Structure 1
Amino acid sequence: MSEALNPQQLRSLIPLNALSDQQWRELRAHLVPQPLLAGQLLFRRGDQARLTYYLLSGELLLRDADGSETRLEAGSEASCHPVSPSLPRLYEASALRDSSLLAIDSAALASQLTLGSAHQDLLLEYGLDGDGEWLEALLASPLLARVPPANVRSMLERLRRVELPAGSRVMAEGEEGDCCYFLQSGRAEVIRGAGSERQLLAELDVGACFGEEALLGDCPRNASVTLLEDSVLQRLDRADFLELLKAPVVDEVSLGEAVRLLGGGGQWLDVRLQEEYERAHAPQALNMPLHLLRLKARLLQGGATYLCYCDSGKRSASAVFTLSQLGFRAYALRDGLDALPALQREALISEAGSGYLARSGGRIERSR
């Protein structure tokens, strides 16, 4: 996508001007610049392609069923609206001179507009007590973009406020997980190990969710979280988390569905430990152990689809949830490798050794 297509320059387009910055980022993969040479046809009357077009430069000729013609020039008030948005198209559209347009997947746009409207209602209802800035950051997160508004409303009603001073350990590695938290104000760090084995996995800012991995995997905490500043947290109990957030966010697919997604450019992501991966892994699978996923996710490609797997399906569910928070599209192999028939498992986990590495920008290399 060209640099010309950015939220600041497209704010005049209607109804795109109602989207938040986060919604623009969510929609970014669906924005396609389309050049059109003089005399070239954009679409015919009766066209039913689910694409929304905006004229960015140049001029179009619109011709209806009676042969009446209308000129549409970039920069005019009319060009701030979609070109012949009704389906089937009521006009034939062609370029009078060299032009450029923005094409957007109509379903993706409708989804963002619907979520944006619903979240505005929540901001008005719950953001009147001085917490509007935090709530706006939370509602704009990629994680909640995949959660139905009714679930978000229920979640907000069930959150419990917790105030703690800087230096407080909110959760400790190895303890049982009975809840997760959202960071309302302040900052926190995620640490794994102690002494010489101590490793900083992430720093968390306002709106971040943490502690969910123990809930998704039904396992002890795999890291400790300590507050770097006086902070306000919002606590969500395990049962509420599983009901309201896990179900809509963690998409699971069968092996057949995974293969179809691979054919469309998907990428296997093995979230087991390196030792498990090297013993046997899927062809061309990347290895990003769950506990290092936040640290390594910067190497993943923003517009790609990732297919996560592990032995039981629990670690991959946690990986999908984490990737969703970070704005990635990901799926978990349903019930993991252990649920596959022996022949399917052997066919899938067919490579051994150190495998493949992700480089910045999503480039994949065979390790040596």
Structure 2
Amino acid sequence: MSHPLSPEQLRSLTPLNVLSELQWRELRPQLVPQLLLAGQRLFALGEQTALTYYLLSGELLLRDGQGAELVLQAGSPESCHPLSPTLPRLHEAVALSDISVLALDSATFNRLLTWRLSYQDLLLELQDTGEDVEWLEALLANPLFNKVPPGNVRSMFQRMQSLSVQADQRIISQGELGDCCYFLKSGRAEVMRDEGSAQQVLAELEVGACFGEEALLADRPRNASVTMLEDGVVLRLDRDDFLALLKAPVVHEVSLGEGARLLGEGAQWLDVRQQEEYERAHALQALNMPLHLLRLKARLLDPQRTYLCYCDSGKRSASAVFLLSELGFSAYALRDGVDALPAVQRDGLLCETGSGYLARSGGRTERSG
């Protein structure tokens, strides 16, 4: 078998059947059954591989550490649950016949399951009011909502204003003051920035995207314009509601001491100031990625690493943390920025000639002296 399982097949597997079809689509590359021949071992006693297994066909032997054996037949009630889910494994699993199994990355599966269970009541409640639940799932699949309590999300939907918009309509304009942010409910939009006499296309937004939030986080004028590419609907959230319901749970701040502890665990400083500011003085081994380029250059970051963002006042770094959270990164902001540090700590953090890294075009970084 080389094709992903169908929804009908997935609905018999617990708790995989709790997930929505949208979430199944995210798992689609992993939903292809794997074949084992009779006598092959699926996993060993004590193994710690972070995979969740389901038996789809054939017979499987489970043997625990005391030698007790259990034969599982595909299609039985027991086979509809994960096989020996505890890590390290409490059983050895050996195929008694040719079998097929489903193997899912446990971290991804548990993330989707936790999300679904956390938001299930909210989705059902909104569905009862006639809301498009698939759109809501697309919005809430944004990684930043992993940090937002469901109660905040419910309040956010209650306070949003729905606006019908047309193709070529400009939603926000570069240079204007920001008093709200938007979520794209339907349609597509384009983000553009004026660069002198030229215009640079920064991104194309699809359903579920949040935009206009950077001006609220940094308390600065809009740094780009957003124009609809086709007719659609946007939801408007006022500044105060955004700061209370979204920024507060998403943007995590740390002291310099807490930052030092995270550095010891493998984190890296991320300087989100302009390159000219960075070159005057920066933290040792810091990577410079100016805030206005962060969305474009975030692909240069290591998704397995934690980033400690800093700037002068803390406002740009708060924007950076919010953006990185949207993209699925782990990030913290230095509380109130380097200007709030005592002189001795500031001088200890920033050095004029310390080595660091610059994010360059073409998908590369280079050392700075």
- TM bin (shorter chain): 0.7 to 0.9
Structure 2 residue aligned with 1:113: 113
Does the CA contact (< 8 Å) of 2:284 and 2:354 recur in 1? no
- Report the Cα distance in structure 1 between the residues aligned to 2:256 and 2:360, rounded to whole angstroms: 27
Residues 252-331 of structure 1: pairs in structure 2 closer than 5 A: 252-331=253-332
Match of 2:36 in 1: none
CA separation in 2, counterparts of 1:92 and 1:361?
A: 48
Q: Spell out, residue by residue over 1:109-129, the C-alpha distance to the aligned partner (whole angstroms, 9 max, x if none).
A: 656423212323333322453
Residue deviations 1:24-73 (CA, integer Å, cap 9, x gap): 979x9xxxxxxxx97996339xxxx9x775378996643377x6333568
Structure 1 residues 196-215: Cα deviation after superposition (integer angstroms, max 9, x where no partner)? 24322222111111111111
Partner of 2:153: 152
* Structure 1 gap segments, 5+ residues each: 29-36
**2:165 equivalent in structure 1:** 164
TM-score, with length taken from structure 1? 0.77
Is 2:72 aligned against 1:63? no
Task: Please say which of residues 200-209 and 71-80 is displaced more in the overlay.
Answer: 71-80
Q: Which residue of 2 aligns with 1:126?
A: 126
In 2, Cα distance between the equivalents of 1:324 and 1:289?
A: 16
**What do the CA deviations read for 1:237-278 (whole angstroms, capped 9, x no partner)?**
111111110111111122222222223332221111111111
Q: CA deviation at 1:335?
A: 1.3
**What CA distance in whole angstroms lies between the structure 2 residues aligned with 1:55 and 1:231?**
41
| Structure 2 unaligned spans of 5+ | 30-39, 96-100
- Asked whether the equivalents of residues 177 and 211 of structure 1 are also in contact (C-alpha less than 8 Å), the reply is yes
- TM-score of the pair, normalised by structure 2: 0.77
Change (3 A) 1:39 1:301: closer
Bigger CA drift: 279-288 or 268-277?
279-288
Aligned to 1:199: 200
Written as runs of structure 1 = structure 2, the 5 A alignment for 1:1-368 is: 14-19=14-19, 42-43=45-46, 54=53, 61-63=62-64, 68-71=68-71, 78=78, 81-85=81-85, 92-94=90-92, 104=106, 112-127=112-127, 128-129=129-130, 131-350=132-351, 352=353, 355-358=356-359, 364-366=365-367
How far apart, in 1, do the equivalents of 2:102 and 2:246 lie? 41
Deviation string, structure 1 residues 261-304 (Cα, Å, up to 9, x no partner):
22333222111111111111122222211111111122223332
Take 2:145 and 2:74, find their aligned partners in 1: how far apart are those partners?
A: 35
Q: Give the conservation status (yes or no) of the 8 Å contact 2:307–2:331.
A: yes
User: How big is each residue's C-alpha offset from its partner over 1:170-204, in whole Å with a ceiling of 9 and x where there is no partner?
Assistant: 12222211111101112222222255243222221
Alpha-carbon displacement from aligned partner over 1:130-170 (angstroms, at most 9, x marks no partner): 63332221122212222111111110111101122222221
- Residues of 2 paired with 1:360 and 1:72: CA distance? 55
SS in 2 for 1:232: strand
Identity score, percent: 62
Report the alpha carbon displacement of residue 338 of structure 1 after superposing the two structures with TM: 1.4
Distance change (3 Å), C-alpha of 1:359 and 1:263: farther
Distance in 2 separating the partners of 1:354 and 1:196 = 36
Give the AA of the match of 1:275. Answer: E
Q: How far did 1:8 drift?
A: 9.2
Distance 1:71 1:348, change over 3 A: farther
Aligned to 2:32: none
* 1:69 partner letter: E
Amino acid at match of 1:116: R
Q: Provide the C-alpha distance between the structure 2 equivalents of 1:8 and 1:247, rounded to a whole number of angstroms.
A: 40
Assess if the C-alpha contact under 8 Å between 2:285 and 2:354 holds in 1.
no
The 8 Å contact of residues 60 and 73 in structure 1, kept in 2 or not, is answered as no
The 2-side partners of 1:250 and 1:71 are apart by: 50
Equivalenced residues, count: 346
Tell me, yes or no, if the aligned pair for 2:184 and 2:234 is still in contact at 8 Å. Answer: yes
Cα distance, 1:82–1:347 mapped onto 2, change above 3 Å: farther
Aligned partners of 1:299 and 1:359 also within 8 Å: no
1:18–1:302 CA distance, 2 compared to 1 (3 A) = farther
Q: In structure 2, do the counterparts of structure 1 residues 251 and 362 end up closer, same or farther at CA, with 3 Å as the change threshold? A: farther
CA deviation after TM superposition for structure 1 residue 220, in Å? 1.7
- C-alpha distance in structure 1 between counterparts of 2:102 and 2:125, whole Å: 41
1:198 match: secondary structure: strand
8 Å contact kept, 1:55–1:100: yes
Change (3 A) 1:7 1:55: closer
CA contact (8 A) 1:56 1:101 kept: no
* 1:274 maps to amino acid: Q
Moved more, 68-77 or 249-258: 68-77
Letter of the structure 2 residue corresponding to residue 120 of structure 1: Q
- Helix, strand or coil for the counterpart of 1:193? strand
